[in-house]
Amino acid sequence: MFLAFCGYRLTFRSFRLPLFARSFHLTGTEFLFLGLLLGPQFLNLVDAETHKGLDPLIALALGWVGLVVGFQFEISKLKRFPFEYLLAAQFEGLFTLVVVFGTAYVTLPSLFEMSKPMVLVAALVLSAAAACSAQTGLGLMAPVSVTRKEKDLRLLRCISSLDGLSALVFIGLAFALRPSPLLETSWIWALVRGMAVGVGAGLCLLLLFTLLLHRRLSESELTLVVIGMAILATGTASVLNLSPLLTCAFIGMCLVNVSKQKERIYNILISVEKPVYLLMLVFLGLEWRIDAPVIFIGAFLYWSVRLMAKVSAGFLVVQSIPALRTHPRYLGFGLLDQGGLPLAVLMDFSRSFPGDVTGRVLGVALVAVILNDLASPYFLGRFLKEKGN
């Protein structure tokens, strides 16, 4: 935890490193390696028992990220974006999801030995992680090139804020289609049951937090309620076999649109967002498996398919929506950064579906994340240089 705290200071508050190192450093990817180093594959400083003891903290981190993600979906703010932007965001997200899902569903059984239901779940998770994009790379670009492309960047920001929505829906599906119910009952029944429990629990939690937030709370009371909310929601979601990330995102989404204290809640959430993010990287590193060459092959494939899907989605968006024709064709180049949500998706998956296969699928995704961290600044640079249509 101390490492995460110090790392957060170093990573997000100082930018004096060489440019190449900066792009790697800014995303905090080194903390994945730190986790890997501390974990059972190398130093074993954080052994299985200690790791198990950290489970509540991992769950809290997931819930926290979920709430932060949910708070992005404030309808009044989203309305400020033109309708075409919202359409583009959903199309881009869904397109990437479908392409990556299809490829993963077909490819995974030939890479790893896994049951059919697990292939479905893993493909859903990988596609959900692939669909998310972020704008971390923009912080590194020269201000001149950024201001020149203000209109394009606005579109990019809109898409990268919203394409996570489809990812969350897919994560919900993955949890509803858990392997065990799938083996026992029909998938339709599993899906209906999972969705009913999910929506029911989410609504009850929302009712609870609305009751607790009915009056203006003092700062410490609000901190208490937000922490309690994150812990209770993640705990309840885990017990009910739901996704803690999705459950908290749902609550966050509702709260940001109904609560009068949304600004204050958001301030509390973001005050520890980055340390939470780095902690998550360390935890993911602890579970990271890189013990087979097939993981690297899978990772390269996954990264390539995501790249192609994003670029194609960007191209299709610009070509098919008339109002967006002025934007560059290679819009997808600006959407390769992944940010924190996919990591939370992967963490959610690895904790809820423990097993050997999960470790390998996680390995594939994390190697791809690193590939992406190395490659995305180049593509973003290309995008910023490109002229519009």
Residue numbers at the binding site for another protein (CB under 8 A): 1-2, 5, 8-9, 13, 52-53, 55-56, 59-60, 180, 204-205, 207-208, 211-212, 214-221, 223-225, 227-241, 244, 272, 275, 351-352, 354
- The secondary structure element, H or E, covering residue 269 is helix 262-271
User: Left if phi > 0, otherwise alpha if psi is -120 to 50, otherwise beta: which for 113?
Assistant: beta
The amino acid at residue 369 is: V
Shortest Å distance, C-beta 57 to another protein: 9
- Which phi and psi (to 5°) does residue 218 adopt? -70, 165
Q: How many angstroms separate the CA atoms of 118 and 101, rounded?
A: 13
Of 147 and 220, the one with the shorter C-beta distance to another protein is 220
| 130, 306 contact by CB (below 8 A) | yes
Looking at the Cβ atoms of 337 and 348, the one nearer to another protein is 348
Q: Residue 386 Cβ, how far from another protein at the closest point, in Å? A: 39
Nearer of residues 227 and 370 to another protein, judged by Cβ: 227
Please state the closest distance from residue 22 (CB atom) to another protein, in A.
Answer: 21
The minimum distance between CB 357 and another protein, in angstroms, equals 15
* Identity of the residue, 53 or 388, whose beta carbon is nearer to another protein in the bound complex: 53
Give Cβ neighbours of residue 227 (< 8 Å, ≥ 6 apart). Answer: none
> In whole angstroms, how close is the CB of 13 to another protein at the nearest point?
8
CA–CA gap between residue 376 and residue 307 (Å, rounded): 9
Cα dist from 169 to 108, 236, 309, whole Å? 21, 19, 19
**Which residue lies nearer to another protein by CB, 233 or 367?**
233
10 Å Cβ neighbour count for 209?
22
Distance (Å, whole) CA 312 – CA 318: 10
For CA atoms 182, 344, 369, 324, give the dihedral sign.
positive
CB of residue 361 to another protein, shortest distance in Å: 16
Token duo for residue 303: 């990264």
Q: Which is nearer to another protein, 55 or 113 (CB)?
A: 55
Nearest distance from C-beta of residue 214 to another protein, angstroms: 5
Considering beta carbons, is residue 56 or 139 the nearer one to another protein? Answer: 56
The whole-angstrom separation of Cα 134 and Cα 99 is 19
Reduce the DSSP state of residue 288 to 3 states and report it.
Answer: coil
Which of 189/378 has CB closer to another protein? 189
Smallest gap from Cβ 204 to another protein, in A, equals 7
With vertex at residue 288, the alpha carbon angle to CA 124 and CA 252, rounded to the nearest 5 degrees, is 50
